[in-house]
Every structure is written in structure tokens, then in C-alpha cells.
A and B are shown apart, each in its own frame.
Chain A
Amino acid sequence: MSSFDIHVHHVTRVEGHGNVLVNATDGRLEEVRWEVVESPRLFEAMLRGRHYSDVQHIASRICGICSIAHSTASLHASEAALGVSVSEQTRLLRRLLFNAEILESHVLHAYCLAAPDFFGVGSVIPLIDTHKEVVVRAMTLKRLAYRIAELLAGRKTHPISCIVGGFAKLPDLEKLAEVGDALVDALDDFDATVELFKTIAVPDFERETEYVALKDPDGYAFTSGDIASSDAGIVPIDEYRSVANEFCVPHSTAKYTRNKREAYQVGALARFNLNHEQLLPRAQEAAVELGLKAPCHNPFKITVAQVVEAVHAAEDSIRLIDRLLETGVQEEPEVTEIRPGRGVGAVEAPRGTLFHEYSYDEDGILTDANCVIPTNQNHNNIQHDMEALVPAILGRPQDEIRRTLEMLVRAYDPCISCSTHLLQVRFIK
């Protein structure tokens, strides 16, 4: 029997830095470890002492890929703490802005980061020569998401116009109508995306775990709702600490979490498992086409759930734009009155449930911040998936083990830069 160590240092095509370590002796698994090695960012310390009008701006910089999610969670937390309420118009505009990020992030992950594994290439770049129409479609859909965000918030990466209380600038309705038309035109591209991912086979592996996501009786939740768990039912977002239970582990700069069992999963598949009945009709059809059925316990299918959610986000955006065009948008007064206090904001970032909790003093200066990041909540689950997966594939060639583990980590679409407070596979020799 063979003895080997596998060490993948800084797993590629993920956001941030993480390692995978596998140590086997005589065909027996000694150790498999998921290590998060991203530099500590210390945002919670950096936010202290800042005025509420600067907090979203800084909190957005936690992550370049899900900056709209961090901005939205940050604004919700500030508003809850400061006693600021927002209008229905702001809620709709924020949901549309959020959809843009779900769309962009899922398209980026499914096409550019995960798909190269299925085509057997190292990146999306060689696909420009071999599968040009696929790359052009991905870029077109990404560009469309950027357009929505640019119209609503000035830009996609680190949105500008979203502020405590609403928006510093409202979108031009003519341009909003143009983006709505472009989304309708893009529905064919979403159909083609579903067709593409139908042809892709994912490894056959199942491990049931606890699934956690926000849930809102009014619709498939991204920017609203309470915390739902497949094991524990509903918990209000103010009690998020009782779900996340963060703890530090020595080999990781990211904190880990656990709730009712050894680990839980957040993200597109958790949301699908908990909220699939609320998907809009085209997304429901896409799930059927893609053969995704709840409950699904195969983490490799997170990417498939992302494709379904991208369809949902496009469909929901078309509806939101129609509604905004019907009602028009009105200028709203700036926030003038605030109170000191503590507040929690929660959203479903592309990678899962994201919590920001802030406390402010009477001058609107932040005195304490805590952020619980989706990828952090998945680290522990990735570790347990690896422990279940590796013994089953230990007899396979090392390259295949390495590739399968990298694909597993990538399926979670880990966003490691924001989780530190992620990816190398080290095969030890």
C-alpha cells in the first residue's frame, strides 16, 4: 500500500488563500486538513471609532467580490442600531442591487472558476480559443450585472450611492428601462447556461449536514428574513451568535463555526434546500432541467444551485424593474435623527449568510463591530466533507485525489479574503 502526503499550497481559482493537506500511510488516512492562511485583515478593529456615514464604505472593502453584500449587511446593521427606518423604494432598489451581485458572482464562479475543471483546462483563458461562445456569454452576463450595479450605485465593486437611510443618488428611469430590456434579451443566454451545466457531471458524493439560510415568508430570501436551519427551525437574526458559535482553530486565520452538529453549510445549496419552493417559475424550471432536487446533500452541486439562483436573480430583477418603472422613484430626505444602540444586519451573500453587528454611541460613532462571514461558516463543513470524501477515493491516483479535493473546495466558492478573520492542498511526502 502506498504512503503519501499531498499538500496543495494556495488553491487556485478561489478568492483568497487556503491549503489542503492530506497525509496517508499504507493506504490509511492519517490526516486531512483544510488550512486557512489568508492574512488577518482586522476589519472589526478598523471600524471602531468611525462615523456611521463612513462605515459602509470601509466594510465594503472586506471583500471585492461580494462588496454589495457587505455594504447591504453593514447598512442594515447600522440602521438597526441607529433606529433608522427605510422606505419600500429603498428596499426594492437594494434588492435589485443585490441581485446584480448574485448574478455576477454566480456567473463568475460557475463559468470562470468552476467550469475549467469540467473542460479539463487550468483556466477560462484557453476556453477563449476552444469555446469562444461560452466565454462571450459569461462575459455578456457579467457585464449586464455590472450595468445594473453601475446604474444603482455608481459601480459594482465597492458600491458608492448606497447609504444609511437609502440612496445618495437615484437611478435614471430611462436607463433602468434599458437595463430591464437587456435582461429580457439575456433570458436566452440563461437558457443556454442551463443547457451547458446540464452536460457537466459532478463527482458522486453525499454527506448530509445542517443547512442554514435566511428565510422570509414573502419570497426567496437574499436581503431579508430570519435564520432558518434544517435541524433547528427559525431563529431571529438578533440571535445569530447562538447559531454561528464562532471558534478559533490553530491552523487558520479564519474563525470556524458550528451549530446543532459538528458543522453546517451555508450558500446556494443551503438556500435551495430550505427555500426552493419560493424560486420564481423560470428558476424552478431550471432546477428541474438541471436535475437538482431538495434536499440535495452533494456539495459539488453548489455550482448547480448557483446556476438556478442566477436565473432567479434575473427573473426577480425584471419584475423589480417593471415595478419601479410603474411607481417611479422619489427623492427621499437625508437621515437626521439617530439614537445610540446595537443592531444586527443579515443578508444572503452569494456564498451564504452574512452577519454584521454594530454598536454606536450617541454621536453615531461605532464602538464595537462583529462580522460573521459565509465562508467562515463553511470552513468546518469543508473539513468534514474532506474527512468523509478522502477515505472513499484514497486508492485513486494522487493527481486525481488532488483535483477532486480542489474541486470540492472550489464548489464552495470560498471567499477567503473576507473570511479572515483560505486554500492550499499539501500532499506530505
Chain B
Amino acid sequence: MKPKVAFFDFTCCEGCQLDTLNIEGQDLVDLVSAVDIVEFREVLTGRADRYDIAFVEGSISRESEIPRLKEIRERADIVIELGACAHIGGVNCLKNHLAMDEALEIVYGDDAGDYDTIPARPIHAVIPVDYCVPGCPINTAELLRIVKELLLGKTPELPNYPVCVECKMAGNVCVFELGRSCLGPVTRAGCNAICVTAGRHCWGCRGLVDDPNIDSQKDVLEKYGLTVDQVVEKFKIYNTYTEVAR
């Protein structure tokens, strides 16, 4: 029996699911032949009762999503958070800085009373989860590695060193040297520092490494004449939930 794999989405942009369709040609064919994709609303019509692996994309941001998520947990052997919204709350949690009625009023005006919305949370804040695929969006090579390891009965591990390590290997000039702030020193690697390579800075979308060296980050900021506030504003974009939890 091929393992049954399902994809589910909650509050998100669905970009991580779409990127799974961009796994390159033969790898995608191999993946589809190694597993039985039983639910993937965005690409297929079909439903199943049990899943060996359930990927969950998105944050939980309304009451009605909670029972649906709990049912997925009951039906699945392994639950994997897919992408930053599921893993760390991601950009959805930016609304948590506002009172919910205030946020609704900004968007829906006088009709705001009709909508169900609660502060956004990552998936593990509602149900126990087994693994995660970080990033906004995910790195599909990492997703493929994690699925392969699970199929081989291994325990998938994520890199536990900061993005700076990969950024140096990519041969980038340090963003701080360019006079801008960057979250690379505290953010979990695994993205090959793609944002710095593309001319920007690290936004922290993969979440913090296990023991972020905050003191060292402060030293770096001091050295380059930047303030903690400047970095916190950047940090909030993906890590509001983590920040509040700490």
C-alpha cells in the first residue's frame, strides 16, 4: 500500500501548495508514483477517511477552522506544518497587533459585525504536530527531502544554524556591510539565503534557530549603528506570534 498523503489549507495564500506543483518534472512524477495523493482540494476532486501524512498550510484565524483542523489530526498519523503561516503564524499574525473589531472595521466598514475572525495562530498552537516545512514560501527541495526521509522511515531534521552560514557559502556581501538590517543571524537556515542573493535582506520567514544568539545580534546592530527597534519592526512581519509567546 502506498502511503496516503493529503494537503489541507487554512488561512493563507496557498502559494506553498502551488509550489509543490513546481517540483521539477521527474521528481514530481517519482513523488506521485511513490505516494497516493488522496486530498488536495486545489488540484483534485476527492476525499479520504485516513491519511498517513497530512500537510497543513495556513494559520488558524477563525473559530470555525478549529474543529476542521482537529478532525484532520484525528485522521492523520503524521501532521506536517507546510510553510510559515502554519509553522510560525507568518504575516497573518500582523493583524494580531490590532483589536479584531478594529481590523474588521478597517476592511469591511459598517458591515464588519458579520465576520468570524480571531487572532491568528500557527497550527501547533491548536493541535500537536509532528514536523514542519518552514518558509514563505517553502523550499520545494527541502519538502522533497523531508518526504523522502519519512518514506524511508527516517526522522527529518531541519538545519539548526543561522541563514548567515548559507549566505556566506552563497558568496553574498553581508547586508549589514551595505548599511541595512537583516534577520539572517537569528533565522533558521535551509533557504540558501535566497532573499539576500536576490538583492534584499533576510525577513526571518523560516523562524528562529533553536537558541538564537540574541546578544550577538545586538552586538552586530551596535557595530553597524542600527537600533533594536528597527530590527523588531522587521521581525514582526513573520514572527509576531513567536515574539508574543516569548
A residues whose Cβ falls under 8 Å from a Cβ of B: 10, 12-16, 39-46, 48-49, 51, 54, 57-58, 61-65, 67, 108, 112-113, 116, 122-125, 128, 136, 139-140, 142-143, 146, 153-158, 160-161, 163, 167-169, 248, 250, 253, 255, 417-418, 421
Contact = CB atoms under 8 A, between A and B. Distances in A.
11 contacts: A39-B117, A49-B97, A61-B13, A63-B14, A64-B16, A123-B46, A124-B43, A125-B32, A160-B194, A250-B114, A417-B12
Interface residues of B, number: 59
B44 A142 contact: no
A154 B45 CA distance: 33
A169 B199 contact: yes
B9 to A, nearest CB: 8
A14 B136 CA distance: 21
B13 A146 contact: no
Interface in B186-217: 194-195, 197-200, 203
Given A125-B37, A157-B137, A45 B10 contact: no
Top 5 closest pairs, chain A to chain B, by CB: A64-B15, A154-B198, A123-B44, A168-B199, A169-B199
Interface of A is mostly: loop
A365 B113 CA distance: 28
Contacts of A163: 199-200
Interface string B1-31: 0000000001111111111011011001100
Contacts of B106: 42, 44-45, 48
Interface string B86-108: 00001110110110001110111
B117 A42 contact: yes
A140 B14 CA distance: 22
A14 B28 CA distance: 21
B157 interface: no
Given A15-B18, A156-B22, 17 more contacts: A13-B42, A42-B95, A44-B106, A61-B136, A62-B13, A63-B14, A64-B16, A112-B21, A112-B43, A122-B46, A143-B22, A154-B195, A154-B198, A155-B137, A155-B198, A157-B15, A168-B198
Given A142-B21, A253-B115, A63 B45 contact: no
Contact of A417 (B13, B21, B104): B13
A112 B40 CA distance: 12
Q: Most B CB atoms within 10 A — which of A16, A49, A64, A124?
A: A64
Given A136-B25, A146-B22, A248 B43 contact: no
A111 B61 CA distance: 32
A61 B95 CA distance: 14
